[in-house]
């Protein structure tokens, strides 16, 4: 009986198929594949959400602080404008030309901290952030002294550039009163990046709000109550920027950054030569961009019947100036995020942070680009009621839209360069694209082909900004992020010193 049962079982086993039913197998594979896809989707969605939170933790406050600083300049010009046309021209030229020239260089030099502090923070070498900031203070403070002749000789320089004598004389006087503002850059820029690399941008935003309120109050007191005139407007701007320095210094040194600020250290005086090289490369990289569009306005002023063209271009640059605060905030955030991840040895995370930042900034830029084209015949009404200027702005709107779109991508890629320490390479790229290709092409199209301001601006955009953006995009796409993470780790080890006792504040 048992043998018969064994025989029946063997027959059933022989008749059983070696492979499962094809339909069941396919169904099982589909079910497993679907589950894997859901897990992958959840993983990507989760990573995207986490990275977006980290990014906007920097971007949001950075936008506000930059708009507040920009608004202080506008408020100062508004108070000066009620004193007279010469006073308005003097404060505008002194602030835009004299201070603006130095602002771009010092801001760029301070951006070296975004590389060093960001990578050190990612590598958990927290004590080095305070030492790096002190080195940056020393380098920028010395650089401020080297730039003082531009303030001292502002009047003859402005006369040489063709400014009327009365405007040049008063601008030179105002420039001397803006020297305290000039020296505030040496401390404020490093402090801002020191806090930014620790994701403490909310502190910078709150201090910027206080400084903005102080600027309104002091401008009213110095100009209207005490009658100091245009000099009072300049002093009010000095006070406001030093409020920024005082607020951030108080927070950093009074317990806000216990891991990264351990007091003044003699280590700040070591390695200044190497630090200066990186700072100089970063300064050249950013100031070449900062000066580029200032050259555009200067060149437009030499066209025949240039009054309307300059007015229309000034309106477009004002709109671009407000909007570019968003990409500049992404520039800062991208530099921090990339530096943090590279310093921590996470090359893939740095690549992902780059992609998220580029996509989000581009989408915002695209939105503004479409808005400009929809309101192209109305956007200038905020600034003027002149029919000629309105018509010229309408004509220039496509160029403004393209500029905004490109500027939503290019600063983010520059932020990647800062976070990775590529400042010297990008400085050469900027020099070649802006001043070897873009500027000559703008001159050629504006004067040789007689296309006026449209030709100058178009040549500088497509020959300079667009080419630079494409080159930076190619470099970023082809980047070996694991190799960059290894370089960042070596970089941190080279620049770091053992944590030691510091002179406590």
Residues 6+ away with beta carbon under 8 Å from 84: none
Instruction: Average the pLDDT over each of 203-217, 393-407, 442-456 and give the range with the smallest value.
Output: 442-456
For residues 442-451, give the mean pLDDT: 89
Residue 148 CA to its chain's centroid (Å)? 25
Name the burial class of residue 17, with classes exposed (0-12), middle (13-18) and buried (19+) by CB atoms within 10 angstroms of its CB: exposed
Distances (CA, A) of 405 to 78, 291, 498: 29, 19, 45
**Phi, psi angle pair for 257, to nearest 5°:** -130, 65
For residues 383-402, give the mean pLDDT: 88
What pLDDT score was predicted for residue 305? 65
Percent with pLDDT over 70 in the chain: 88
Q: What is the pLDDT of residues 223-280, one digit of tens each?
A: 989 999 999 999 999 999 999 999 999 999 998 999 999 999 898 898 888 888 888 8
Helix axes 22-81, 325-343, angle to 10 degrees: 130
Residue 303, phi-psi category: left (phi > 0), alpha (psi -120 to 50), beta (remainder):
beta
What pLDDT score was predicted for residue 27? 45
264, β-bridge pairs: 503
- For residues 379 and 54, give the distance between their C-alpha atoms in angstroms, rounded to a whole number: 34
Q: Which residue has the tokens 């070296």?
A: 112
Residues 6+ away with beta carbon under 8 Å from 113: 132, 133, 136, 190, 193, 194, 197
Return the H-helix or E-strand segment holding 188. helix 179-196
Residue 295 CA to its chain's centroid (Å)? 20
Query: Which of 290, 299, 300 is CA-nearest to residue 392?
Result: 300
Sequence ranges of the domains in the chain: 57-270, 285-495
Half-sphere exposure of 39 (CA within 13 A, CB side): 6
- For residues 235 and 214, give the distance between their C-alpha atoms in angstroms, rounded to a whole number: 12
Q: What is the pLDDT of residues 205-232, one digit of tens each?
A: 999 999 999 999 999 999 989 999 999 9
Max avg pLDDT among 109-123, 401-415, 482-496: 401-415
Query: Which of 274, 273, 110 is CA-nearest to residue 194?
Result: 110
- For residues 53 and 467, give the distance between their C-alpha atoms in angstroms, rounded to a whole number: 32
Residues 6+ away with beta carbon under 8 Å from 364: 326, 408
Residue 278 CA to its chain's centroid (Å)? 17
- For residues 202 and 58, give the distance between their C-alpha atoms in angstroms, rounded to a whole number: 8
Percent with pLDDT over 90 in the chain: 47
For residues 283-299, give the mean pLDDT: 77
Q: How many helices (H) and strands (E) does the chain have?
A: 23, 0
- For residues 442 and 458, give the distance between their C-alpha atoms in angstroms, rounded to a whole number: 7
Cβ–Cβ < 8 Å for 108, 284: yes
**Phi, psi angle pair for 147, to nearest 5°:** -90, -5
Distances (CA, A) of 64 to 204, 238, 339, 469: 9, 20, 23, 26
pLDDT surpasses 70 at 18? no
Predicted TM-score of the model (pTM): 0.82
- For residues 460 and 299, give the distance between their C-alpha atoms in angstroms, rounded to a whole number: 11
**Phi, psi angle pair for 385, to nearest 5°:** -115, 5
Looking at per-residue confidence, does 310 or 442 come out higher?
442
Q: What is the pLDDT of residues 149-167, one digit of tens each?
A: 999 999 998 888 777 888 8
503, β-bridge pairs: 264
Cβ–Cβ < 8 Å for 468, 403: no
Q: What is the pLDDT of residues 63-102, one digit of tens each?
A: 999 889 888 988 888 888 888 878 887 887 888 788 888 8
């Amino acid at each position: 009986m048992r043998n018969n049962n064994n025989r029946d079982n063997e027959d059933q086993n022989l008749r059983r198929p070696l492979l499962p039913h094809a339909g069941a197998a396919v169904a099982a594979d589909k079910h497993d594949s679907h589950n894997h896809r859901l897990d992958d989707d959840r993983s990507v969605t989760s990573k995207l959400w986490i990275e977006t939170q980290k990014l906007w933790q920097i971007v949001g406050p950075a936008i506000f602080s930059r708009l507040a600083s920009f608004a202080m300049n506008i408020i100062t010009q508004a108070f000066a404008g009620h004193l007279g046309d010469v006073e308005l021209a003097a404060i505008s030229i002194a602030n835009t030309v004299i201070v603006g020239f130095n602002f771009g260089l010092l801001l760029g030099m301070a951006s070296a901290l975004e590389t060093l502090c960001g990578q050190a923070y990612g590598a958990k070498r927290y004590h080095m952030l305070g030492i790096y900031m002190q080195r940056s203070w020393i380098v920028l403070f010395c650089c401020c002294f080297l730039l003082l002749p531009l303030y001292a000789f502002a009047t003859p320089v402005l006369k040489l550039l063709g400014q009327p004598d009365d405007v040049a004389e008063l601008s030179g006087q105002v420039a001397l009163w803006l020297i305290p503002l000039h020296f505030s850059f040496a401390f404020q820029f490093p402090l801002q990046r020191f806090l930014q690399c620790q994701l403490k941008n909310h502190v910078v935003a709150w201090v910027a709000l206080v400084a903005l309120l102080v600027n309104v109050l002091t401008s009213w007191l110095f100009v209207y109550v005490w009658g100091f005139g245009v000099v009072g407007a300049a002093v009010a701007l000095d006070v406001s920027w030093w409020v920024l320095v005082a607020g951030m210094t108080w927070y950093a040194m009074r317990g806000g950054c216990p891991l990264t600020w351990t007091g003044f250290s003699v280590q700040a005086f070591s390695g200044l030569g190497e630090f200066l090289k990186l700072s100089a490369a970063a300064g050249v990289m950013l100031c070449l961009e900062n000066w580029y569009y200032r050259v555009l306005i200067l060149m437009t002023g030499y066209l025949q019947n240039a009054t309307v063209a300059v007015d229309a271009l000034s309106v477009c640059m004002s709109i671009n100036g407000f909007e570019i605060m968003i990409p500049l905030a992404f520039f800062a955030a991208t530099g921090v995020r990339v530096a943090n991840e590279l310093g921590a040895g996470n090359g893939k995370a740095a690549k992902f942070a780059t992609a998220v930042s580029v996509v989000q900034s581009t989408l915002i830029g695209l939105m503004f680009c479409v808005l400009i084209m929809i309101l192209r015949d109305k956007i200038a009404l905020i600034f003027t009621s002149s029919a000629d200027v309105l018509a010229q702005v309408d004509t220039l709107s496509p160029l403004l839209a393209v500029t905004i779109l490109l500027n939503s991508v290019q600063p983010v890629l520059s932020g990647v360069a800062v976070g990775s320490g590529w400042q010297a390479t990008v400085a050469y790229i900027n020099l070649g694209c802006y001043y070897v290709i873009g500027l000559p092409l703008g001159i050629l199209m504006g004067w040789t082909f007689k296309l006026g301001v449209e030709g100058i601006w178009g040549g500088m955009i497509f020959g300079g900004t667009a080419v630079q953006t494409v080159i930076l995009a190619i470099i970023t796409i082809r980047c070996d992020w694991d190799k960059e993470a290894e370089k960042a780790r070596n970089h941190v080890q080279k620049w770091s010193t053992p944590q030691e006792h510091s002179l406590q504040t």
